[in-house]
Amino acid sequence: MNKTFLLALLLGCAAANCCAQSLRPSSQLGGLRADAASAAADATPRSADYIVAIVNTEPITSNEVRRRTLRAEQQLLQRGAALPARDEMARQVLERLINERAQLQSARENGMKVDENTISDAVENVARQNQLRVADLRQRLAADNIPYQQFRDDLRDEILLTRVREREVSARVRITDQDIDNFIRQQQDHTDSAALEINLAQILIAVPEIATASSLYALQTKAEQVLQRAQAGTDFTSLVREYSDAPNAATSGGVMGLRSSERYPALFADAAQRLRVGAVSGLLRSDAGFHILKVLEKKQAGLPGAVVTQTHARHILLRLTPQLSEAAARQQLASMRQSILAKQADFAQLAREKSQDGSAKDGGDLGWANPGMFVPEFEETMNALTDGQISEPLTSRFGVHLIQVLERREYTLNASEQRELARGLVREKKQEEAFQTWSQEVRGRAYVELREPPR
């Protein structure tokens, strides 16, 4: 199996990015943990395995870090990016593994589990997305010395991580009318800044919550030296990989992505608004530490939601019950899809007869939908369809769906509709903030012991 296929296989049905910040339910298996994946691509001889960290009572081994590091390097190579130093990437990979291990333990302590049927359904989903049968998938894994049970265990952890993150973050997010009023007022009163989309890269010199005066001085001195190099023209990406303590800095190059200024911390947005593209900020101080920003891109976005692409779609929903497993629901919907494509059945009629959604009486018709109206896993699949196309069975938090896009149009939103769009933007921002807070809390509660390599 070549590396390109293997990476696609283990990414499942979503993009590699997600990252721990993606709050999608378990049916979206994006960012599948790649301990097994990288083992297949590693042609170098293995060194002796040893424990590099203890998270509460669970060990993380050097082989786990090595495999995940290799996976990150594969992703960079596929994007044509330069590779950072192996030690720096391994350090950030270890921190990611520590966070994941602590979050998995939190999920299990709260009684969260993933049953074997769900894992089997997930395996089928990965195989289907890579146009394989499960038997073919198992053969390819075996050919690359990837134990099938390890593959299932990785899927189990990914599903559990997604579920606990979704549950914990959703419980923390509350959107009030005042939140929406404030967001809209900011858009109206500060059109130049609020409508600005910015892409930033950052270097973070982290400061511990409890830092002595001497250690704080040393960290600030280090940050000022890095700032001088950045302002003198040293390659910013190289500085990120050498010095930044931000999560995933080694793999992302510090790039935070093009987004509205409202979705950046106020400290970052205020600094970026005064800078031209390509400029480097001064030293910024937050609770996390010292930040250095570089403006990679700026563009005016206008008031959000003035004109959007609406989608007119319909669907058939089968809800999962103890009597109807995900695999059985998928099989039923796949059979319906074949009948529709063969013109042996009508989509609307099947929806009226079979769908377990309120739209069944309308033949599954969902009407015209604005972006963000549906849950992410549903909307992502719907957006990938062309007019008239019918999806493969899709699992969401509500059950299993068959989706057909009927048509699309450009639409100017009225005041009420813009308000709903603003609600979605506020929710997205609060979810990101809530995830970061929760993740830090879980990490802070965990007992973490780092160990030196054996001599």
Measure CA 127 to chain center: 21
Q: How much of the chain exceeds pLDDT 90, in percent?
A: 32
pLDDT classification of 195: cutoffs 50, 70, 90:
low
**388 φψ region: left (φ > 0), alpha (ψ -120 to 50), beta (else):** left
Return the structure tokens found at 207: 């400061």
User: Is the confidence at residue 322, as pLDDT, over 70?
Assistant: yes
Which of 36-45, 305-314, 372-381, 443-452 reaches the highest mean pLDDT?
443-452
Among the residues of 244-342, which ranges form H helices? 249-252, 266-273, 326-341
**Higher per-residue confidence, 265 vs 239:** 239
Give yes or no for residue 301 having a pLDDT over 60.
no
| More confident call, 181 vs 41 | 181
- Asked if residue 405 has pLDDT above 90, the reply is yes
- List, in order, residues 6 or more apart from 143 with CB less than 8 Å away: 1
* Residue 6 pLDDT class (50, 70, 90 cuts): very low
Is the separation of the CB atoms in 202 and 292 below 8 Å?
yes
Instruction: Spell out where 125-252 has E strands.
Output: 196-206
Percent of the chain scoring above 70 in pLDDT: 83
Architecture of domain 307-412 in this structure: Roll (3.10)
pLDDT of residue 259: 79
| pLDDT of 302 over the 50 cut | no
User: What is the pLDDT at residue 54?
Assistant: 95
7: pLDDT strictly greater than 60: no
Task: Please state which of the ranges 245-259, 314-328, 351-365 shows the lowest mean pLDDT.
Answer: 245-259
Domain range annotation of the chain: 3-172, 196-301, 307-412
Q: Is 295 exposed, middle or buried (0-12, 13-18, 19+ CB in 10 A)?
A: buried
pLDDT for the residue numbered 300: 55
Query: Which structure tokens are listed for 434?
Result: 């809530």
In terms of pLDDT, which residue wins out, 372 or 114? 114
pLDDT, tens digit, 9 for 90 and up, residues 107-148: 999 899 888 888 888 888 778 766 688 888 899 888 878 889
- What's the N-to-C CA distance of the chain in angstroms? 36
For the domain made up of 196-301, give the CATH fold.
Chitinase A; domain 3 (3.10.50)
* Residue 76 confidence (pLDDT): 67
| Bigger pLDDT: 34 vs 249 | 249
The pLDDT of 394-421, averaged and rounded, is 86
Mean pLDDT of the chain: 80
Q: Which helix (H) or strand (E) holds 290?
A: strand 289-300
Q: What average pLDDT does the segment 317-345 reach? A: 91
Residue range 21-33, pLDDT digits in tens: 333 323 333 333 3
User: What is residue 357's three-state secondary structure?
Assistant: coil
| Res 394: pLDDT | 87
> Given a cut of 60, is residue 218 above it in pLDDT?
yes
- Lowest-pLDDT range of 11-20, 311-320, 417-426: 11-20
Q: How far apart are CA 27 and CA 40, in angstroms?
A: 25
Instruction: State the amino acid at position 405 in one-letter form.
Output: V
Q: Is 198 exposed, middle or buried (0-12, 13-18, 19+ CB in 10 A)?
A: buried
Q: Report the residue count for the chain.
A: 455
At residue 72, the pLDDT reads: 78
pLDDT reported for residue 129: 63
Phi first, then psi: what are they for 122, rounded to 5°?
-65, -40
Q: What is the mean pLDDT of residues 188-205?
A: 71
Convert the pLDDT of each residue in 160-180 to its tens digit: 998 888 888 888 889 998 988
Fold observed for domain 3-172 = Triger factor/SurA peptide-binding fold (1.10.4030)
Please answer whether residues 272 and 184 qualify as being in contact, where contact means their C-beta atoms are separated by less than 8 angstroms.
Answer: no
Domain 3-172 matches domain 196-301 at the CATH topology level:
no
318/332 Cα distance (integer angstroms):
9
Q: Is the pTM of this model over 0.75?
A: no
Tokens of 199: 């892409």
The pLDDT of residue 32 is 32
51-83 per-position pLDDT tens digit = 999 999 999 999 989 888 887 777 666 555 567
